[in-house]
Amino acid sequence: MTENTTHTSSSPAAFQLSSKVKDYMLLMKFTLSFTVVFSCVICYLLAPNIVGFPWLNVILLFVAGMLVTGSANAINQAVEKDTDAMMKRTAKRPVANGRMSVNEAYGFALVAGIVGVFMMFYYFNLASALISAFSLFLYAYIYTPLKKVSSIAVLVGALPGALPCLIGWVAATDVFNPLGVVTVTNTQILNLAGWSLFGIQFLWQFPHFWAIAWVAHGDYSKAGFKLLPADKGPTKFTAVQTIMYSVLMVPIGMMPYYFGITGKVSFWIVLACNLFMVVQSIRLYIKMDVQSARRVMFSSYIYLPVALLSLLADKTHL
């Protein structure tokens, strides 16, 4: 009787703990955060001064990245509590559903953000910590409220969405110059190589996100979000914009090879991936339907890991 009583009384506590962990994973948008941090880690490993696979640094970078990204996502959910509750795809998020208070979400965001940025500074360098803090601020306090004002929010949101590539690179190289290059030196090549990785993920987000916004247009409109480039919703103009950014991905995808951080094999793989995205975007323009938008969306999901992993597998040393 004693054993049964103990087991029964501990079960609710275990269930509550499990539910709370799941809520925090939803709060930080674990899957999305993982994708973002994945690109950060790959770009860290791509740096020519990183030899082999430094497990400890990778784990530290992953944890710091998840904390910073999770902090930004927690603020996003606290701010968008009411609009999340209106949309089917987000109604079960913990703050929107009422399982977690706004103050709890902000409390998590504060602690996670401070710890994550500090880890970037302590274990890596000041530049990567400052870029991480800027990315968090831009996503949480500029992009998030701007989504209800103008579709320019997609452009603004693409910046923190691509900065993890630069953060990973800078964490490895400690080379960061946002003003570009005056004289071409080895350091400036490193700087430009990092920006080329940023450019790949920056441009990728437009066809990726517009495809998502196309598929979920009804939900987004109900919540008052203005995320498609045309006010009238999914139109030919949106499809043309998707093609345009997919085409721009082609030359940017060549830059890692041009700057000498990757070889010819990845050059052709990334080129093939970019052309595939162009084809899917053209298909969307021709058919103008949700199914074609889904094809663009799923193609973009495949594109990023294939492109980044091929670059890493074909890494060279400057």
Domain architecture of the chain: domains with CATH: 1-171 (1.10.357.140), 177-318 (1.20.120)
pLDDT (tens digit per residue) in 171-224: 999 887 665 544 445 667 777 888 999 999 999 999 999 998 888 877 777 777
Residue 270: closest CA among 229, 231, 312, 235: 312
CB atoms within 10 A of CB 254: 17
Write down the mean pLDDT value for the chain.
87
Percent above pLDDT 70 for the chain? 91
Beta bridge partners of 262: 315
| pLDDT of residue 1 exceeding 60 | no
CA dihedral (29, 35, 41, 44) positive or negative: negative
Distance CA 232, CA 248 (A): 25
Of all residues in the chain, what percent are helix, strand and coil, respectively (each to 5)? 80, 0, 20
Give how far Cα 87 sits from Cα of 19, 80, 81, 232, 303, Å: 22, 11, 11, 19, 28
Q: How long, in residues, is the chain?
A: 318
pTM for this prediction: 0.87
Q: Which two tokens stand for residue 11?
A: 């079960």
- DSSP for 121-179, written as a single string: HHHT-HHHHHHHHHHHHIIIIIIHHHTTT-THHHHHHHHHHHHHHHHHHHHHH----TT
pLDDT of res. 225: 77
- The alpha carbon dihedral of 67, 69, 72, 78 has a sign of negative
* 8 Å CB contact between 304 and 276: no
- CB 309, CB 281: distance < 8 Å: no
CA neighbor of 74 nearest in space, from 34, 116, 119, 104: 104
The answer to whether 66 and 41 are in contact (CB under 8 A) is no
pLDDT at 134 over 90: yes
**What per-residue confidence (pLDDT) applies to 177?**
66
Q: What CA–CA distances, in Å, run from 268 to 254, 271, 311, 314?
A: 9, 5, 10, 11
Range from 77-81, 103-107, 125-129, 173-177 carrying the lowest mean pLDDT: 173-177
* pLDDT for 82: 86
| Interhelix angle 102-123/55-79, nearest 10 degrees | 150
Average pLDDT over residues 117-143: 95
pLDDT tens by residue, 296-312: 999 999 999 999 999 99
Q: How far is CA 225 from the centre of its chain?
A: 19
| CB 144 within 8 Å of CB 75 | yes
**Are the C-beta atoms of residues 95 and 77 closer than 8 Å to each other?**
yes
What is the per-residue pLDDT for 11? Answer: 65
